[in-house]
């Protein structure tokens, strides 16, 4: 059976925040809307479709991330930046569909590409867009190995005393392609 349409729960305008003292993250506030698209859609058209759902985002320069099915909550967000990555996302949707056609849907989060800088944006403006955000209390081996291979990382131990931790971490997460 060929799958023609993919179903997404799209979120925009909220914030990714930690829950309690654990490492869990949640998406708070914002607007959620359902989107059905032809699974053969191009990346450019997909960004336009998702952005068009939200009045405030319709004319903006936006990007989106999807939550890996079966992943570790919002720690497993994957950026989609081109047609190949969109195809990979659609293949993940196909896997969900095969397991449960009636309930298959994926979660997308739409973000603005450009945000005005304020005092709590110092971390993300210094580090720029990261390839990988690492939330770990390890020995630094992973960070070193990634950096040796020209993969730019942000490790949450780079925060300094006095930083607004929630805003700094949220911005660093939003500006990273992958989360570990």
Domain residue ranges in the chain: 5-112, 119-179
pLDDT in 10s for each residue of the chain, 180 residues: 567 899 999 999 998 887 776 667 888 899 999 999 998 999 999 999 999 999 888 777 888 999 888 776 777 788 899 999 999 999 999 998 988 888 889 999 998 875 433 333 333 344 456 667 676 656 667 767 766 666 677 676 656 656 566 666 777 777 776 666
Domain 5-112 -> CATH class = alpha beta
- Tell me how far CA of residue 173 lies from CA of 16, 18, 111, in angstroms: 9, 12, 11
For the full predicted model, state whether its pTM sits above 0.85.
Answer: no
By CB atoms closer than 10 A (0-12, 13-18, 19+), residue 133 is buried
């Amino acid at each position: 059976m060929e799958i023609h349409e993919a179903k997404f729960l799209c979120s925009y305008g909220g914030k990714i925040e930690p829950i309690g003292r654990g490492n869990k993250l949640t998406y708070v506030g914002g607007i959620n809307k359902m989107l059905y698209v032809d699974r053969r859609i191009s990346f450019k058209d997909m960004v336009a479709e998702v952005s068009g759902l939200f009045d405030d985002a319709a004319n903006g320069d936006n990007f989106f991330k999807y939550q890996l099915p079966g992943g570790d909550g919002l720690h497993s967000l994957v950026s989609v930046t081109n047609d190949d990555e969109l195809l990979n996302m659609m293949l993940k949707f196909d896997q969900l569909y095969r397991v449960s056609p009636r309930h298959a849907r994926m979660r997308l989060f739409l973000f603005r590409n450009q945000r005005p800088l304020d005092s709590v944006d110092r971390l993300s403006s210094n580090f720029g867009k990261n390839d990988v955000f690492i939330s770990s209390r390890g020995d630094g081996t992973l960070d070193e190995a990634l950096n040796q291979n020209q993969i730019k990382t942000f490790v949450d131990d780079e925060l300094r005393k006095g930083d607004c931790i929630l805003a700094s971490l949220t911005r660093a997460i939003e500006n990273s392609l992958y989360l570990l």
